[in-house]
A = this chain, B = another copy of it.
Amino acid sequence: MSGRWGERGPGKRWHREFRGGGYRITIPRQIILQVLDESKKHLSAEDIFLKVHQIYPTIGLTTVYRTLELLVGMGLVFKFDFGDGRARYELCRGDDSSSHHHHLVCTNCGRIIDYAEFIEEELELINKTKQELEKKYGFEIRNHTLQFYGLCKRCKAIKE
């Protein structure tokens, strides 16, 4: 094991991206990526800061925000808004449909469920739509979000 993630893993991928973009590979950036990689949840900047802080206490919250913005800009991290006033971040794990998923958001308690039902069909439609929109509006589409809002099982039960 040479890097923080071993020979394979997410390391290699972004390593090149950083170098190509003229960005330096720093300890804060490595640790933030590590934390994102080890977590499957949808972390807020502060969630990430707290985990990062346990590994390397001198890293500041500002750096977490800056790094996340950088990673989002590079397309390595997704940024979501689930309506609770803080952004959520999730490592982008490649373009394979195995990691592609969307979200179900409970507007009452904030619970988030990842789902991947009908993803194949969805990707088909998304791609068709994407091509049409790129042709029609000259837009260069980079990514998309699809979210369902409603009441989770528990909250639905509470309200009868």
Contact = CB atoms under 8 A, between A and B. Distances in A.
Interface of A: 79, 81, 83, 104, 106-107, 113, 115, 117-118, 121-122, 125, 128-130, 132-133, 136-153, 156
Copies of the polypeptide in the assembly = 2
A132 B146 CA distance: 16
Contacts of A133: 104, 115, 117, 148
Nearest to A159: B140
A149 B80 CA distance: 12
Nearest to A157: B138
A138 B153 CA distance: 5
A142 B107 contact: yes
Contacts of A143: 148-150
Q: Which 6 A-B pairs have the closest CB atoms?
A: A138-B153, A141-B150, A81-B81, A142-B150, A140-B151, A144-B148
Given A136-B117, A148-B130, A141 B104 contact: yes
Nearest to A130: B148
Contacts of A138: 152-153, 156
Contacts of A140: 150-151, 156
A76 B136 CA distance: 30
Contacts of A83: 79, 81
B141 A144 contact: no
B151 A132 contact: no
